[in-house]
A and B are shown apart, each in its own frame.
Chain A
Amino acid sequence: MPRYFFHTTDASRQHDDVGVELADDRAARREAICYTGSLLQDEPDLVQNERGLRVNVVDGDGRLKFAVMVSTLDSRWD
């Protein structure tokens, strides 16, 4: 099974150097969404910064496969 790495960026960056083996891209995308959800449940403040919260999913060759992004918008953006 291929290994995927999940790099997290909020106010600070966290580089994942362990990774997780998952069946395919579809499973990795699902894992990224669930991971982001559980991060938010634990620490809602992760989104309370200019860039919001971003989880980059990278394959074993270091290529970005996709990203999950969560941010809040103030009313003036309407």
Chain B
Amino acid sequence: MSSSVDRTNNGQGNQRMTAKSAPPGLDIFLRKLLSHSPLTDDDQAAIMAMPHSVRHMEPNSYILREGDRSGVCPILCAGFAYRQKSTQEGGRQIVALKIPGDALDFQSMYVRTVDHNLQALTAVDLVIVALPDFEKMVATRPAIARAVIVDILIEASIGREWLLNLGRRNALSRLSHLLCELHYRLLDTRSEGLDARDVPMKQEQLADLLGLTPVHINRTIKKLESNGAVARHGRGIRLGDIESLRRLADFSDTYLHRNNRAG
């Protein structure tokens, strides 16, 4: 996937996270790691100086395919992406949703074969880091290695919560729960929450994520709209009232480990 590289940066002229310049870059990735793990100035500078290339992809493009052997770790700088798996009959389940700042393939550092498909949900900007560079980094910098593991653990925790959500919550709670999660995850990387931007998914994508039919998604959105939990915004929907959404979802943010840095 590294075939069409738009711009290459060999680490020269990269500043620490204080620099807001040159988006898309590694700064949002660093913010994501710092949201759950402390890193020294030196470690932060090492991350910002990682050699990388930048790539733009259109909605629905495949970033990784099941069965691939990946040599790179793409990092999502702008836009949304998802992991999906499909049955032989074509039934698709979205199994993870990735937001700006998320590394998309830490696992290829440790296991050989990509075990799911990774697709762009919206147009995305990716920073591509070669896996050997990342491996070198985690081998020489224990705090970064630890941050990578924490990141993987939190993704696994989110996966467990999704299992609960799909298996045991009704449609109204299920959709409310997803919206709460997405909102808080965005805020934690200092991105705009769902009160300030549209939910990035269409009804079909929400259906594939929540294991409901598109018609059931429509009905559920209408219900949320009628009690003010979500609000129409042009053709999109946004968060209307986070507190009522939390109540409907029976939402507890423990599984997101938002207080991890506090120890």
A residues at B contact (CB < 8 Å): 6, 8, 14, 16, 18, 20, 31-32, 34-35, 38-39, 42-43
Given A32-B215, A38-B212; 8 other pairs, CB 8 A cutoff: A14-B219, A16-B215, A16-B219, A20-B204, A20-B218, A34-B213, A35-B216, A42-B172
A18:B212 contact, CB within 8 angstroms: no
B218:A39 contact, CB within 8 angstroms: no
**B203 cross-chain contacts in A, Cβ below 8 A:** 18, 20
**B171 cross-chain contacts in A, Cβ below 8 A:** 38, 42
B170:A43 contact, CB within 8 angstroms: yes
Of chain B, the residue at the smallest CB distance from A14 is B219
Cα A20 to Cα B214 in complex, Å, equals 7
A18:B218 contact, CB within 8 angstroms: yes
A57 to chain B, nearest CB (A): 9
B residues at A contact (CB < 8 Å): 170-172, 203-204, 212-216, 218-219, 222
B90 to chain A, nearest CB (A): 12
Of chain A, the residue at the smallest CB distance from B170 is A42
Cα A70 to Cα B214 in complex, Å, equals 20
- Kindly identify which residue among A8, A14, A18, A31 contacts B213, using a CB–CB cutoff of 8 Å: A31
A39 to chain B, nearest CB (A): 7
Q: A42-B171, A43-B170 are in contact. Are A35 and B222 (CB under 8 A)?
A: no
Q: A18-B203, A38-B171, A43-B170 are in contact. Are A8 and B219 (CB under 8 A)?
A: yes
B215:A20 contact, CB within 8 angstroms: yes
B215:A6 contact, CB within 8 angstroms: yes
Of chain B, the residue at the smallest CB distance from A28 is B215
Q: Could you write out 6 A-B pairs with CB less than 8 Å apart?
A: A14-B219, A14-B222, A18-B218, A20-B204, A38-B171, A42-B171
A32 to chain B, nearest CB (A): 8
B212 to chain A, nearest CB (A): 6
A38:B218 contact, CB within 8 angstroms: no
Cα A6 to Cα B222 in complex, Å, equals 13
Cα A32 to Cα B213 in complex, Å, equals 9
Cα A53 to Cα B170 in complex, Å, equals 18
A39:B222 contact, CB within 8 angstroms: no
9 pairs of A and B residues whose beta carbons are closest in the complex = A42-B170, A35-B215, A6-B215, A35-B213, A20-B214, A18-B218, A42-B171, A38-B216, A34-B213
**A31 cross-chain contacts in B, Cβ below 8 A:** 213-215
Cα A43 to Cα B218 in complex, Å, equals 16
**A16 cross-chain contacts in B, Cβ below 8 A:** 215, 218-219
**B215 cross-chain contacts in A, Cβ below 8 A:** 6, 16, 20, 31-32, 35
Of chain B, the residue at the smallest CB distance from A20 is B214
Of chain B, the residue at the smallest CB distance from A8 is B219
Cα A33 to Cα B215 in complex, Å, equals 11
Cα A16 to Cα B213 in complex, Å, equals 14
**A14 cross-chain contacts in B, Cβ below 8 A:** 219, 222
Cα A37 to Cα B169 in complex, Å, equals 15
Cα A43 to Cα B172 in complex, Å, equals 10
**A32 cross-chain contacts in B, Cβ below 8 A:** 215
Cα A35 to Cα B219 in complex, Å, equals 10
